[in-house]
Amino acid sequence: MRYDLNLLPVFLTLMEERNVTRAAERLGMTQPALSNALARLRDMLQDPLFIRERYGMQPTEKAEAMAPGIAAAIAELDQLVLGQQAFDPAKAERLFILAPNSYVEFVLLPGIVAKLSERAPGIRLRLVPFGAELAETGVSSGATAMVLGRIVDPAENLVVQPLMEDGLACVVRADHPLVNKRISRQQYEQLRHVNVLPPGRLRAGLFQTLQREGLRREVAISVTHFMAVPELVAATDYCATLPAQICRHLARDARLKVLAAPVDLGTFPVQMAWHVRYRHDPAHQWLRELVAEVARETVAVKAK
């Protein structure tokens, strides 16, 4: 019997998403095309595979049993085929799906895109949300090529590589009536704060650090992205505690000033992770090195 191997990534993505619409978006397919692929999968595997329920699609017992073997087979096939391919970045035509958190989007992504434009203009990127959990990014199945951010509790089939460390600093408006060249512990606790709640575990790290240091913070407003902070801080007497690399960018805004935190808030890691199936993929290896290069250069600029 001849099998359509193109259907297997569809199966694995549906196993993760449990939703036809979201699976189609991740795979870059239309919903009708994915529904058609699911029908062919059901015919090929002689099983319904997924049963519609109120809150999504639940895999059948057979689908649950087959998923690990199918994932392993695709990984082995990728290593066999991709590992033999030569890669010329200047001539390559390829789409990579990445899941960066909002920190990486702000700090590293511009440098990554600039280098790709110069060295590999045929390589395209598509970003998907980092999400609250790694499973939501698609990296565990290999549908997403790489996840970038703070990696917590990675699955056994993921390779995690450290990229850099960053610290925390404070930003207030340049003509703040209460804060001059430094911010004291007392001032920090008296001010009202802008709190950033991006998806993922970055936010938990700051909460835990403040708690460990016994530093109180009155939150006036919580936002979902770092990009919302400059306008809010410039228009109020609020303070924001942000990653130092983001503060370095905000320091260019004449309306704002960046100050050291009143106590040492430590550092947090920035990492990248990918499925083991990409370990020997020359194109993926090249992209990983480019991302690491951008991270090294970012740290070097901060050190100057």
Query: Looking at the 3D structure of the chain, how many domains does it have?
Result: 3
Whether 23 and 150 map to the same domain: the answer is no
> What pLDDT, in 10s, does the model give residues 180-229?
999 999 999 999 999 998 655 545 677 788 888 889 999 999 998 899 99
In angstroms, what CA-CA distances link 223 with 50, 200, 202, 207, 227? 37, 14, 14, 15, 9
Round to whole Å and give the CA distance between 254 and 173.
9
Whether 207 and 248 map to the same domain: the answer is yes
The residue that leads in pLDDT, 232 or 17, is 232
Whether 152 and 133 map to the same domain: the answer is yes
**How confident is residue 129, by pLDDT bands cut at 50, 70 and 90?**
confident
Round to whole Å and give the CA distance between 114 and 119.
9
Percent of the chain with pLDDT over 70: 93
Look at residue 302 in the predicted model and tell me its pLDDT: 65
Look at residue 100 in the predicted model and tell me its pLDDT: 94
Percent of the chain with pLDDT over 90: 55
The pLDDT mean for the chain works out to: 88
Whether 105 and 220 map to the same domain: the answer is no
| Long-range Cβ contact pairs of 18-27 (< 8 A, separation 24 or more) | 18/50, 18/56, 18/57, 18/58, 18/59, 19/56, 19/57, 20/57, 26/97, 26/128, 26/138, 26/143, 26/144, 27/143
**How confident is residue 157, by pLDDT bands cut at 50, 70 and 90?**
confident
Q: Is the CB of residue 228 less than 8 Å from the CB of residue 236?
A: no
Structure pTM? 0.74
Is residue 111 pLDDT above 90, yes or no? yes
**Domain boundary at 52, 82, 112, which?**
82
Whether 12 and 68 map to the same domain: the answer is yes
Domain extent for 69: 7-82
Least confident of 26-35, 112-121, 172-181: 26-35
Look at residue 230 in the predicted model and tell me its pLDDT: 96
What is the domain-level CATH number for residue 275?
A: 3.40.190.10
The residue that leads in pLDDT, 72 or 275, is 275
Look at residue 224 in the predicted model and tell me its pLDDT: 87
Whether 160 and 273 map to the same domain: the answer is yes
Whether 172 and 260 map to the same domain: the answer is yes
> What pLDDT, in 10s, does the model give residues 25-74?
878 788 899 899 999 999 988 999 999 887 778 999 999 898 888 887 87
**How confident is residue 13, by pLDDT bands cut at 50, 70 and 90?**
confident
What is the domain-level CATH number for residue 13?
A: 1.10.10.10
Look at residue 191 in the predicted model and tell me its pLDDT: 96
Look at residue 80 in the predicted model and tell me its pLDDT: 66
Look at residue 1 in the predicted model and tell me its pLDDT: 53
